[in-house]
Structure formats: C-alpha cells, structure tokens
Amino acid sequence: MLLIPAIDLKDGHCVRLQQGDMRASTTFSDDPAAMARRWLDAGARRLHLVDLNGAFAGKPVNEGAIKSILRAVGDDIPVQLGGGIRDLDTIERYLDDGLSYVIIGTAAVKSPGFLKDACSAFGGHIIVGLDARDGKVATDGWSKLTGHEVIDLAKKFEDYGVEAVIYTDIGRDGMLTGINIEATVRLAQALTIPVIASGGLAGIADIEELCAVQGEGIEGVICGRSIYNGDLDFAAAQQRADELSG
C-alpha cells in the first residue's frame, strides 16, 4: 500500500484546502521543494502534486514551484500532478520536465476525446482523477456536480488505457472524517486497473482498513491534512502499511 503525500500548490505555496474551497486554505510551507524533500526523507515512494490555481484557471499556474519540486527529488521517486491540464502540449512539457504521471480530471469528464488522445500519445503516464459526492462526479475544482456515475465513467476511461484512477470523496476531503472505504472498494471491484483512495484520511485506523481491502485493487492512498497537522506520522504509517501488506 503506497502512502502518497500531497503537495497542494496555491500561489507558489504549499497549502491544504477544506472541501476544495480556495478561501478555506491553510499554508503549511512557503518552500514546496523543501516539503518534497521532507516527505522523500520520511520514506515516501511517490508524491502527489496539485496545481490548485491551475485547476480553477484551466491552465498551468504553479509551474515554477512544480519544476523546483522535480529538481529537488530528481529521479528518486515518481511524481504525479493534476490541476489545469487541458491539452497534449502541456502533458508533453510536464513529462519532459520529469513528471512520471499526469492526472486528468475535469478535462476527462468534459472532453473524453482529449483523454483518449492523451492515453494514445503518452501511454503509461496518464491517471484519471474522479472526484465525487454521493457517487456523482464533480468537475471544475468540485464546483459543478454532473449526472455521471463514478463507476460508469471509470470503466469507460479504463477502456481508453488510463494507468489508474484516483477516487476522491469530496464530502470528506480535508475534513479528517475518514476515507470512504465502501465506495472506494466498490469502484476498485468494478475495474482491473488500480484505484488510489483520496479524501478524508484521518489516522492510522484508515491505513489499516485500506490495507485490509488492498486485494480488491486499491494501490495507495493520498495523504493530505492528516500528515501536515500531525494526526498521522507519515513514516510510521508507511512502515505499518508495509507490515500489513506483507
């Protein structure tokens, strides 16, 4: 079970939001590259970056901070990024800069043809981010709820050739109320590609619950507010996950 620290970027700073609200942000660091090294030193085996401004603007905004993180970690671990990725040129540029995976969210839902093209052009590097409330997919930085069912869309995108699905329960994100295990397992059971859980991770009990259902196809979990405010000791949690995963 991969524990994946999240570095959410707003105006060049490392922040956390509550339920995707840009007005409800807490700044944890003014040096995203140093934060990346911190998680690398704590035993992280992958990093999750989000260009929050980009997600709302529909284009990359925090490229400077992203490049500084990529320089800081080098080839040590894979880095994945989402937020404002809407065209193939942006994907190519990010991959050339050293990103391992590009996460497509809103654009996958609104322009499935773009996702299909991205999978064809950059096979092995495309992850889909599906954010949902009560099983319905949300877009545009979670501000718009669609009528699409998560499982239906995920199956369609699996057929396109995406590497994995990141599933976020937006009712829980940043709230420390616990991962929605049931919904995550349901999605993983419907797919053959891995699912990465996200949203609401509160503590070690969540990690233990996820490890218990790892065999259903849940590859990892994104760690946000809990590792920044100290509710979860990242290094200890990854060690515990490794023990449980055998």
Q: Is 233 a residue of the active site?
A: no
**138-to-43, 91, 93, 109, 150 alpha-carbon distances in Å:** 32, 22, 27, 9, 9
Region of residue 134 (left: phi > 0; alpha: psi -120 to 50; beta: else): left
| 176: its two tokens | 């420390």
Q: Are 52 and 83 in contact (CB under 8 A)?
A: yes
DSSP track, 104-123: E-HHHHH-HHHHHHHHHHST
The residue type found at 163 is: E
β partners of residue 3: 221
- Which of 51, 131, 169, 206 is labelled catalytic? 131
Q: How far apart are CA 237 and CA 246, in angstroms?
A: 14
User: What kind and span of H or E run contains 65?
Assistant: helix 63-73
- Which of 8, 169, 173, 206 is labelled catalytic? 8
The residue type found at 59 is: K
Q: For residue 93, which of 55, 124, 125 has the smallest C-alpha distance?
A: 125
User: What kind and span of H or E run contains 3?
Assistant: strand 2-10
> Which positions are catalytic?
8, 131
